[in-house]
Amino acid sequence: MLPLSRPKIGVQGATGSWRFRKPEIDQGRCIGCGICWLYCPDSVIDVEDVSGKFRVRIDYTYCKGCGICASVCPVKAIKMVSEV
């Protein structure tokens, strides 16, 4: 027996239900730097290249709402909004 596993999306279930604050992105302010993508501890942020412009997308099914992305965003383009 070996302590090995394969990375798989959502092994702990839909962890988005743990969330009570939701990160919302102001796409107008976002400069597409990718810092939120780098810092997200759950890898639920994707930075996509949409016709030459970066676009940040969050997978809310698994985002636990920790707020790290909002905290590290250099242009304050991410806001934490209460869901309760």
Partner 1 sequence: MVKLTLTGNYCVAHAVKLSRVKVVSAYPITPQTTIVEKISEMVDSGDADIKMIRVESEHSALSAVYGAATAGARAFTATSSHGLLYMHEMVWWAAQARVPLVMAVVTRTIGPPWNIWTDHHDIMGQRDTGWLIAMAETNQEVLDETIKLFKITEDPRVFLPGIIGLDAFILSHTVEPVEVPEQEAVDSFLPERRQPYTIRFGDPLVMGNIPSDLLVNARMRWEVHKALESSAHVIDEVDREWGKITGRYYGGLVECYRCDDADFLFIGVGAWVGDMRLAVDKLRDVGYRFGALKVRYIRPFPGARILELVKGRKGVVVLDRSISAGSAGPIFLDLAAYLQGKRVTVPIKDVVAGLAGFEVNYEDFVKIGEKFAGEVLEVGWVKDYLEFYPSR
Interaction of residue 1 with partner 1, rule CB under 8 A: yes
| Residue 12 CB neighbour total at 10 angstroms | 9
The answer to whether 3 contacts partner 1 (rule: CB under 8 A) is yes
Cα–Cα dist 12/8, whole Å = 10
12/51 with CB nearer partner 1: 12
Cα separation of 41 and 76, whole Å?
Answer: 19
5 binds partner 1 (CB under 8 A): yes
What is the nearest approach in angstroms of partner 1 to the Cβ of residue 30? 28
DSSP 61: T
Q: Which is nearer to partner 1, 3 or 52 (CB)?
A: 3
Q: Does 2 bind partner 1 (CB under 8 A)?
A: yes
Helix (H/G/I), strand (E/B), else coil: 62: coil
